[in-house]
Amino acid sequence: MRKLPIYQVDAFASQVFQGNPAAVVPLDFWLKESQLQQIAAENNLSETAFFVRQENGKYHIRWFTPTNEVDLCGHATLAAAFVIYEFLEHYTDIIEFTSQAGTLKVRVRNERYILDFPKREPHAIGKDKLVEKALGVEALSMALSRDLIVEVANQKLVETCEPDFQALAQLKEYFAIVVTAKAEPQSGIDFVSRFFAPQQGINEDPVTGSSFCSLAPFWQKNFQKDHLAAIQLSERTGRVELAIKDRRVEIAGFARLYMKGDIFIPEVY
């Protein structure tokens, strides 16, 4: 049997049991894709991050849900950066990853982890009645990038949304569906959101860093400002701070260690 280290980190959280839990498995070399998927399925978290350190000091990172590999994941990247910075031999406050989505940098400032991610500008589309029916809400607008962004009239509609996940899973043209609205006045927050991705094996994700690659430019136009604060209103909740810069979005939050241990898998031949 091969022993591998594993960490479970609550990302976008100032204390454990908040934010979004991610598993992180550092590797010396890549396992077979089928084994990566089996480990992620066994962990049964929204994402498991795997990375291998390269000769140039960068880390190649991949992310798996319980059912498939994804092209970009924010909270598991934050969790991986936390593990590298806190537990591995990394001596700078900048951690650089290579990935399917290109180069991703994470800066550490006063315990905050600041993700430098690609901006994914959504484009407006007509309202999809099947989406509205599956969500049980009426949309003010819809916009599409990787995720379908569904804007609704107020924060209460986001909080009380009870999707029909079987119906959402049939809408195969959308990777995931995000419901969002302006936050309540005087809350200190600009907007709120929730993230649903039953096709990816995740009915509702607690805090979805990659969704803010699209939500940030969507709300930037609405508020006419480049710095935004948001809360993802899952049961666990998580707050993020956003800065939009040219073609990039900075997504900042804290992380807390929940678990550190070992896993045992069959030897790779």
Q: How far apart are CA 147 and CA 173, in angstroms?
A: 10
Residues 6+ apart with CB under 8 A from 79: 7, 9, 11, 22, 23, 24, 49, 255
- Measure the CA dihedral 209/211/214/217, to 10°: -50
**Catalytic member of 33, 42, 47, 250:** 47
- Are the beta carbons of 181 and 151 closer than 8 angstroms? yes
**159 annotated active-site:** no
Sign of CA dihedral 87, 90, 91, 94: negative
Among 85, 42, 89, 24, which residue's Cα sits nearest to residue 260?
Answer: 24
Distance CA 92, CA 89 (A): 10
Query: For residues 48 and 39, is the Cβ–Cβ distance under 8 A?
Result: yes
Catalytic residues, by residue number, are 47
